[in-house]
Amino acid sequence: MLEQTLGQYYSFSPKSTMKLVRLGKVRSDNFRPLKMVLLSKDHTISFLRGFNEAKFKSVEFPTSSRNVRDKNKIHERCSKNCSEYLKKQSCRSVMQSTRTSHYVWGSSSIAFINLPIQLFSLSTLEITSVNHNLCIFYQNLCGLRTKLFNVRSSFPSFTSYDIIILTKIWLSPVIYRNELVFDGFLVFRQHINSSNSNFSCNGGILIAIKTNLKTTTIPPGNVDVEQAFITLTLDSFSVLVGMLITNIISTTHWFLLILCSLSLNLKFHTSSVEQLI
């Protein structure tokens, strides 16, 4: 039954490309997810892409299917949340369709969580009678250029996010957008400013937003401040998405510039914007 379900959405045979292990002890009242170990990176990428495509395109796709990696405590907690969520559904057969994918070939694991946003600390946007969920990823990288391989390996997991915000990317204008492999995203970048940093490779902001979302770039009010603000339009509502950073060596003068720049953005753009991220 499992092979038939997987084969319906993915282009490879489950028997020949993966190992399945039922986690946990045998108990009649306990939900036991499947741990899936794939044979190669290509199979992992194909699995995740197929999962995403099937989830959004197929009417018959099992909505309770979830992908969770079990590498550390955070992911174990996510898996537990997944289990608790599915237990609320009284159908045992639906629970058994939950799958766990795990890649063990040395590089960073590739996985994403497809649970409702309310279970995690992700931004949820609720506007009057219309509800919009924005799935947002944030990370302080300390150097994106040195991690491009991991970014490329993990990119299939990024497709489950609407907005990706990265700080301390340590990039320069000579690194082009196509090197960053953010396919399907509009990329907004603000590079290191020598005026408020003594380091040649410190700072920088990158905000990537799905191309299916309507965006408008807000020109920086002060070029000496590392900042990026974008207006995101959802139906007739707008959201101000922004990032503004400073370095610990910044003087009082630079902190005042930062506060002034933030005040200007809030003053002139939030009058027509219902939410601020």
How would you class 229 by CB atoms within 10 Å of its CB: exposed for 0-12, middle for 13-18, buried for 19 or more?
Answer: buried
Q: Give the whole-angstrom CA distance, residue 181 versus residue 134.
A: 21
pLDDT of residue 189: 77
pTM tops 0.85, yes or no: no
> Given its phi and psi angles, is residue 184 left (phi above 0), alpha (psi -120 to 50 degrees) or beta?
left
The enclosing H or E element of 75 equals: helix 73-87
Coil, strand, or helix at residue 231?
strand
Coil, strand, or helix at residue 130?
strand
pLDDT of residue 2: 52
Pick from 23, 71, 45: nearest CA to 153: 45
pLDDT of residue 245: 72
pLDDT of residue 65: 62
Mean pLDDT by 10 residues, the chain (277 residues): 55 60 65 71 75 65 60 57 55 38 33 36 42 77 70 72 82 67 79 57 77 79 68 78 67 63 60 47
Distant-in-sequence, close-in-space partners of 172: CB < 8 Å, separation ≥ 6: 191, 192
Please measure the distance between the N-terminal and C-terminal CA atoms of the chain and give it in whole angstroms: 44
Distant-in-sequence, close-in-space partners of 263: CB < 8 Å, separation ≥ 6: none
Q: Give the whole-angstrom CA distance, residue 62 versus residue 45.
A: 20
pLDDT of residue 4: 56
How would you class 143 by CB atoms within 10 Å of its CB: exposed for 0-12, middle for 13-18, buried for 19 or more?
Answer: middle
